[in-house]
Chain A
Amino acid sequence: MKFWRQTGFWLPLVLVFLWGGAVLVLRQDTIRETAFTVLMFMALASSLNILLGYTGYVSFGHIVFFGLGGYTGFYLLSEQGWPLYLAAVGGGALSGLIALLVGLAVLRLRGAYFALATIGINEAARAFVSNFGPFGGATGMFVNFSAYEKYGGAGQALWTTFTFLWITTLVVLVVSYLVKHSRFGLGLQAIREDEDAAMVMGVHAPRAKTITYVISAFFPGIIGTLYFFKNGNVEPGDAFQLHMSIEMLVMVMLGGMGTVLGPMVGATAYQGLRGYLLTSPIFKDLHLAVAGLILLLIILFVPAGAVGWVRGRIPALRKVLE
C-alpha cells in the first residue's frame, strides 16, 4: 500500500492546498489574516498531535517551542539578517534541540508528571527569555525594517509569510501521515496503548519518544518565527502564553487525537467558535472558559473527537478520514 495512492493521504493536503491557493488568488488582507490564524493553529495542533495523538504523551506546555523557536528565528532574521526561510528553519532547529535535551530528562516521566513538567518548562523559558539581554529582555525585540525590504516592503512580506506558513502546514500534514503509517508510528501507537507491553515487544520506547518529541517541537519553532515576523515584534508575554497550549490541546481533542485530519478539523472549528465568542457581547471575556468547558465535554462524551467518532460509526470512511 503506497501512501501516495491513499485517499486519506491526499484529502487533508488537497483541502489545505485549495484553501491557501484561493486566499493567494483573492489577495485580500482580511481574508489572509483569518486564514493565517487558522493555518497557524492547524499546523500547531497537528505538530502537537504527533506527540499527543500517536504517543499519548500530553504536553501542556507545547507552546514553549513556538515561543523559543519564534524568538530564535526572529533574532536570526532581524538582528543577524538571515533570510526568512533560513531563520524559520533555524528557529525550528533550536526548538528541536531543546526538545531533545528536555526530552532526555522528562520523557521518563509518565502521565500527569510529564504534563506538569512541560508546564514548568514553559514557565522557565519565559523567565529566562525575560532576562536574556540579546533577546531584548522583558521588552522583547522589534523587527528591523530593512528586513521587510528584501521581500518588497511590509505589505508584500506579509504575503510571503503567509505562503511560507501555508507550505509549512502542508509539510506538517505530510509528516503527520507518514509518521502514523510507518513502522516507527506503529511503535508509537504501541507505546500509547501500553508502554511496558510495547517495550517487552521490542519497541525502543525512550528513543522513539524522544524522536517524536523533537519532530513535534520542530514545526512550532518554524511557525513561531513566521508569526512574530508577521507581527513585527516579539515579547515574552506573547511568546509563552500557556492558554495557547491549552487551546492547541482543545483543537486536537475536538477534531480527534491520533488522526491526521482531526487537528485540522479541530483548529478550523475552534477558530470559528472563538471568532464568534470574541465578538459576541455575552461571551467576549469568557472564550477561555468556554474552551475549558468544551475540553471537559469532549473528554467525557466524545474522547475520540469528531473525526474519531465518524471513523468509529462509519467503518467505510476509515480509509478516507485518516
Chain B
Amino acid sequence: MILQVQDVTKRFGGLQALTEVTFDLPEGQILGLIGPNGAGKTTLFNVINGVYAPNRGKVIFRGEDITGLPSYEVARRGMARAHQVVRPLTELTVRENVMVGACFGREGHSLGLAARKADEALAQVGLVERADQPSGNLNVAQKKRLELARALAARPYLLLLDEVLAGLNPSEITPMMETIRSIRDEGITILMIEHVMQAIMSISDRIIVLDYGQLIAAGKPEEVANNPLVIEAYLGDPDMTARLMAE
C-alpha cells in the first residue's frame, strides 16, 4: 500500500468535516474520490498532504507515518498535488512555475536540471510551446495542464488531483484523460477528486464515496454506481446509474 488513511477525523470548530475516514490505496492504481459538494473531499486531501493536521487518525505514506508533517515535508517524500482552484505563480513564466515543482519536489533538482525536467513535464501535458510565456496569460484548460505539469515535475510517487477536469469543455476532457492515463502507466499512483461522472467511472480502478465527512461506499466503479447509498446521496436517481454504465 502506498497510502493508508486510518480513522482520520477533522473538525473545524463545531463542524465535523471528516469522521473516521479509512481507506487504502495500492501502488499503481487510480482511486477516484467522489461525493456531493461540501462532503469533505478537499479537506481529506488537505489532511493527506499535510496542509491540515487531523484531530485524530493517521496518514501512512509508503510505510511512514506522515500525520501532522507540514506540507513541504510531505511534498519532499514524494506526494504532489494539483489544486482545484488553479494557482499558477502569475509573475513567473510557465517554465519557471514548473521548475518550482522540480526544484522542491522529491528529487530536489538544481536550477539547470530543473529547467530540463520542467520541459519534459510540459511536453507530457502538451504545454511545451507555452514555456516562455507568463503563466497569467494561459486559459483555464492550459492552467489546469500547468497545474498538472508542476505536480509531475516533482516526480512524485503519489499524485493528488483535485478536479482537474472541472471547467474543461468536452473536447478538452478527452485529451486530459489520456494524459492522466499516461501518468498512471508510468507507475505514478493517482488519487483524484472528480465531479465529471463518466470520466471518473471510466478512468478509476476503484472509487470511494464521501458524504457528510463519512466514507459511505468503496469498490469498483460499477459496484459504487449501483450502491443504493451512493445513488441516494450523490447520483440522485437510479436512471443516472444506468446511463453512466451504458457509456
Binding site for B on A (CB under 8 A): 1, 181-183, 186-187, 189-190, 192-194, 196-205, 258
| List of A residues within 8 angstroms of B72 by Cβ | 199-205
B140 at the interface (CB under 8 A from A): no
Query: How far does the alpha carbon of A193 sit from the alpha carbon of B93 in the complex, in Å?
Result: 12
Query: Does B62 belong to the interface (CB within 8 Å)?
Result: no
Assembly CA distance A205 to B51 (angstroms): 13
Would B83 and A197 count as touching, CB distance under 8 A?
A: yes
B47-76: CB near A (< 8 Å → 1, else 0) gives: 001010000000000000000001110011
Chosen A-B contacts, 20 in total, with CB atoms closer than 8 Å, are: A181-B111, A183-B110, A183-B114, A186-B103, A190-B100, A192-B91, A193-B87, A193-B89, A194-B89, A199-B70, A199-B72, A200-B49, A201-B100, A201-B150, A201-B154, A202-B104, A202-B106, A202-B108, A203-B72, A203-B100
Q: Is B182 an interface residue (CB 8 A)?
A: no
B87–A183 CB distance below 8 A = no
Among B49, B87, B99, B111, point to the contact of A194 (Cβ < 8 A). Answer: B87
Q: Interface residue tally of chain B, by bracket?
A: 20 to 34
4 closest A-B pairs by CB: A202-B75, A202-B104, A193-B89, A197-B87
Given contacts A183-B114, A186-B103, A186-B111, contact A200 B96 (CB under 8 A): no
On whether the beta carbons of A202 and B51 are closer than 8 Å, the reply is no
In this complex, the member of A198, A199, A204 whose beta carbon has the largest number of chain B beta carbons within 10 angstroms is A199
CA distance A258 to B89 in the complex (A): 14
Q: Flag if A198 contacts B70 (CB, 8 Å).
A: no
Tell me the minimal C-beta distance from A39 to chain B in angstroms.
29
The one of A1, A181, A189, A201 in contact with B92, judged by C-beta atoms closer than 8 angstroms, is A189
Q: Which residues of B contact A (CB under 8 A)?
A: 49, 51, 70-72, 75-76, 80-81, 83, 87-92, 96, 99-101, 103-106, 108, 110-112, 114, 150, 154
In whole angstroms, what is the CA distance A202 to B114 when docked?
14
Q: Are B103 and A189 in contact (CB under 8 A)?
A: no
Instruction: Please tell me if the beta carbons of B110 and A190 are within 8 angstroms of each other in the complex.
Output: no
Using A200-B71, A205-B72 as known contacts, say yes or no to A186 and B100 having CB atoms under 8 A apart.
yes
Q: Which of B91, B92, B154 lies in contact with A202, CB distance below 8 A? A: B154
Contact B105 A182 (CB under 8 A): no
Given A186-B100, A186-B111, A187-B103, CB of A202 within 8 Å of CB of B76: yes
Q: Given A193-B92, A194-B89, are A187 and B71 neighbors across the interface (CB < 8 Å)?
A: no
Does A201 lie within 8 Å of B110, measured CB to CB? no
Considering the complex, give the chain B residue whose CB is closest to the CB of A304.
Answer: B91
Contacts of A196 in B (CB 8 A): 51, 71
CB closest chain-B residue, reference A1? B112
CA distance A29 to B51 in the complex (A): 58
Q: A183-B110, A183-B114 are in contact. Are A203 and B89 (CB under 8 A)?
A: no
Chain A residues with CB under 8 Å of B83's CB are: 197, 200
Contacts of B104 in A (CB 8 A): 187, 190, 198, 201-204
- Rounded to whole angstroms, the CA-CA distance of A190 and B75 in the bound complex is 15
Tell me, in angstroms, the Cα distance from A50 to B80 when the chains sit together: 29
Known: A182-B111, A183-B110, A187-B100. A201 touches B91 (CB 8 A): no
Q: Which residue of A lies closest to B132 (CB)?
A: A315
Q: A202 to B111: give the CA distance in the assembly, Å.
A: 15
Most buried by B among A189, A193, A201: A201
Residue in B closest to A206 when the chains form the complex, CB atoms: B70
- Give Cα A167 to B90, complex, Å: 35
* Distance between Cα atoms of A187 and B92 in the complex (Å): 11
Q: Would you call B91 and A189 a contact (CB within 8 A)?
A: yes
Q: Is the CB of B71 within 8 A of A199?
A: yes
Pick from B51, B100, B114 the residue with the most CB of A within 10 Å: B100
A193-B70 in contact given A183-B103, A183-B110 (Cβ < 8 Å)? no
Nearest residue (CB) in B for A196 is: B51
In the assembly, what is the distance between CA of A205 and CA of B108, in Å?
Answer: 15
